[in-house]
Amino acid sequence: MSERDVVIAGNWKMYKTIPEAESFVEKLSPAIADIPVKVYLAVPFTAIKPVSEKAEGTPVIIGAQNMNDASEGAFTGEIADKMLIDAGAKFVILGHSERRHIFGESSEFVNRKVLKALESGLQPILCVGETEEERDAGKTDEIVRQQLDESLKGIGSENVDSLMIAYEPVWAIGSGKTPSAQDAQKEHKFVREVVKELLGESIAEKIVIQYGGSVKPDNAKEFMDQPDIDGLLVGGASLTTESFAGILENVTATKLKI
Could you give the CA distance from residue 10 to residue 1 in angstroms, rounded to a whole number?
Answer: 26
Neighbours of 87 (CB within 10 A): 19
DSSP code for 238: G
Q: Let me know if 43 is exposed, middle or buried by CB neighbors in 10 A (0-12, 13-18, 19+).
A: buried
Tell me which of 96, 98, 187, 188 is the catalytic residue.
96
Q: Is 57 exposed, middle or buried (0-12, 13-18, 19+ CB in 10 A)?
A: exposed
- Set 130, 168, 187, 249: catalytic member: 168
244, 216 Cβ separation under 8 angstroms? no
Is 168 a catalytic site residue? yes
Q: What are phi and psi of 218, to 5 degrees?
A: -85, -10
Q: SS3 for 24?
A: helix
Distances (CA, A) of 196 to 189, 199, 201: 11, 5, 5
- Positions marked catalytic: 96, 168
